[in-house]
Amino acid sequence: MNPQAFYRAPYPVYAEARRTRGLTFLPELGAYLVSRREDVREVLSKPEQFSSAGALRPDYLPSRAALTELIKGFGGVQAVLTADGDAHRRLRRPLTRGLSPARVAAALPFVTERAEALIGSFAGDGQVEWMDGYARPLPAAVIGHLVGLDPADTPGAIRGAQRAEELLFTELTEAEQVDVAKEIVDVQCLLDGYARARRKDPRDDLLTELVRDLAPGSGDLTLDQRKEIVSNVQNLLLAGHLTTTALLGTVVLNLLRDRRQWELLCEQPRLVPAAIEEAARFEAPIQGFRRTVTTGVTLSGTELHEDDVVFVSFASAGRDADATARPDEFDITRPAFRHLSFGYGPHGCPGSQLAKEQVRISLEILLRELPGLRLAHTDITMAPTLIHHSPEALFLTW
Ligand code: HEM
């Protein structure tokens, strides 16, 4: 199968894999697909047998010319998502603190103000393209705010982080790769300036947490420390942005696709948290990540060997009929159950509360301001990626 077609519509492949005994090897991913909920949980809870080192294996390797540009920057150092064991615990600590419930609560007035301003900017128009008009800008502004960036620097920093993803996951010409690499390096230099400024003048933000925790002491940051901080901030800008964008897209899409769900939510706004969980379960923004087998192990009856790669599908786990009835229906009254769309185990998402609060605030404003919301078109194209499963565009009217 063409990988792009699979990326846009992966659910039939997962369903077939769940029906098939053992693990299915998917050549499109170069990995065994872990599709059943119990197997997904098992892999995620045994990091010593299933390493995260190759979690984000690139689809395309940068050309030599692009690498020549990249080495001028501050990247290429391990980030939390691909670390194991003690190295992982060390990189995760400042994030847990920086995204604590108290920090998230303190950010809510900012989220509400941005959300109201964005919706207010198009509410009088009777129509909007939701992804560009709202779902992309809101989480970008919010993660920039939490990290501690000047609002004027946030769009460029976010774009730089996205360019890093583009370089590794899309097919580009050599000239395009070089341009992208230069842009990535410019943003790394900007973030490095922030890191050094926070060293001298700590503030109450995530960047300060990262500097304080990853580079204890008070002297000038070493080059290695600067690289580590910049790599992890860049990673955070990506992790905190497009995932939430995807959920803002799919929650609105699925509520409006069967408009009775939207009408029910208008009648019973207390169902908003359930609608968010159901949207995350039904179309997991991160469809899955890879793990590398560290030692011979049998999973679901399939023998795996050292260095075999598995693709752990959070998305497929959410559609497992052994865990919830009628899994292919979107139903905001579904009895609560623990889906795995925010991960599980030591790498489980430290930003899930922040993401859910953004979606909650967004839905509450929409219910209040635009109850007549409906889809302008029903032929929706999903983006060809497993990292943030979302509509490419979503035209709404009211
Ligand atoms: C709807 C939004 C989101 C979804 C669906 C989501 C999903 C996930 C998942 C499935 C993982 C586990 C990865 C693994 O096991 O390899 C993860 C990890 C992570 N997420 Fe999220 N996430 C979201 C929002 C956020 C936000 C808003 C932030 C930051 C502000 C964030 C930061 C991270 C980080 C740093 C990790 C890596 C943690 C580690 O490796 O220990 N995420 N996320």
pLDDT (tens digit per residue) in 304-322: 999 999 999 999 999 999 9
When computed from its CA atoms, the radius of gyration of the chain, rounded to whole angstroms, is: 21
Distance 343 CA to ligand 1 centre (A): 7
Q: How confident is the model at residue 77 (pLDDT cuts 50, 70, 90)?
A: confident
Q: Which residues form ligand 1's pocket by a CB distance below 6 Å?
A: 44, 52, 55, 80-81, 92, 95, 99, 143, 236, 239-240, 243-244, 247, 280, 285-286, 289, 314, 341-343, 347, 349-352, 354-355
Beta bridge partners of 313: 288
> Could you give the C-alpha distances from 160 to 210, 326, 367, in angstroms and in order?
19, 41, 34
Atom of ligand 1 nearest to the CA of 88: 41
Q: Which residue has the tokens 């077609």?
A: 5
Atom of ligand 1 nearest to the CA of 355: 27
Q: What does the block give as tokens for 85?
A: 């064991």
If you ran DSSP here, which 8-state letter would residue 374 be given? E
The total of other beta-carbon atoms located within 10 Å of residue 150's CB is 10
Distance 243 CA to ligand 1 centre (A): 8
**Contact predicate 299/42, CB 8 Å:** yes
Closest CA to 364 of 303, 273, 292: 273
Beta bridge partners of 128: 396
Distance 239 CA to ligand 1 centre (A): 6
* pLDDT tens digits for range 147-200: 999 999 999 999 888 888 888 888 899 999 999 999 999 999 999 999 999 999
The total of other beta-carbon atoms located within 10 Å of residue 298's CB is 9
Model pLDDT, residue 277:
98
Distance 219 CA to ligand 1 centre (A): 32
Distance 89 CA to ligand 1 centre (A): 15
* pLDDT tens digits for range 317-336: 999 999 999 999 999 999 98
* pLDDT tens digits for range 230-258: 999 999 998 999 999 999 999 999 999 99
* Average pLDDT rounded to a whole number, residues 64-88: 91
Atom of ligand 1 nearest to the CA of 285: 5
**76 has pLDDT over 80:** no
Distance CA 198, CA 42 (A): 40
Q: Give the rounded percent of residues in the chain with a pLDDT score beyond 90.
A: 86
Beta bridge partners of 127: 397
Model pLDDT, residue 119:
98
Q: Where in the sequence is the domain holding 342, given as residue range(s)?
A: 3-397
Distance CA 390, CA 393 (A): 9
Atom of ligand 1 nearest to the CA of 343: 10
* pLDDT tens digits for range 372-386: 999 999 999 999 888
* Average pLDDT rounded to a whole number, residues 36-41: 98
Atom of ligand 1 nearest to the CA of 79: 40
Atom of ligand 1 nearest to the CA of 345: 15
Q: How confident is the model at residue 104 (pLDDT cuts 50, 70, 90)?
A: very high
Pocket test for ligand 1, best of 349, 358, 385 (most atoms within 8 A of CB): 349
For the chain, where are the alpha helices, taking DSSP H only? 3-8, 11-19, 37-44, 64-70, 85-98, 101-122, 130, 137-147, 154-169, 174-200, 206-214, 223-239, 242-257, 259-267, 272-282, 314-317, 352-369
**87 has pLDDT over 80:** yes
Structural domains of the chain, count? 1
Distance CA 61, CA 269 (A): 47
Distance CA 381, CA 137 (A): 20
* Average pLDDT rounded to a whole number, residues 357-367: 98
Distance 377 CA to ligand 1 centre (A): 31
Model pLDDT, residue 15:
97
- Which of 78-82, 167-171, 231-235, 339-343 has the highest average model confidence (pLDDT)? 339-343
Residue 322, SS3?
coil
Distance 286 CA to ligand 1 centre (A): 8
Mean of pLDDT over the chain:
95
The CATH number given to whatever domain includes residue 372 is 1.10.630.10
Distance 369 CA to ligand 1 centre (A): 30
Distance CA 151, CA 248 (A): 21
Distance 347 CA to ligand 1 centre (A): 8
Pocket test for ligand 1, best of 232, 243, 363 (most atoms within 8 A of CB): 243
DSSP character string of 273-290: HHHHHHHHHHT-SS-EEE
Q: Whose CA is nearest to atom 7 of ligand 1?
A: 342
Reading phi first (left if > 0) and then psi (alpha if -120 to 50, else beta), residue 204 is in beta
**1 has pLDDT over 80:** no
Q: Whose CA is nearest to atom 35 of ligand 1?
A: 236
Model pLDDT, residue 348:
97
Distance 280 CA to ligand 1 centre (A): 13
Atom of ligand 1 nearest to the CA of 354: 27
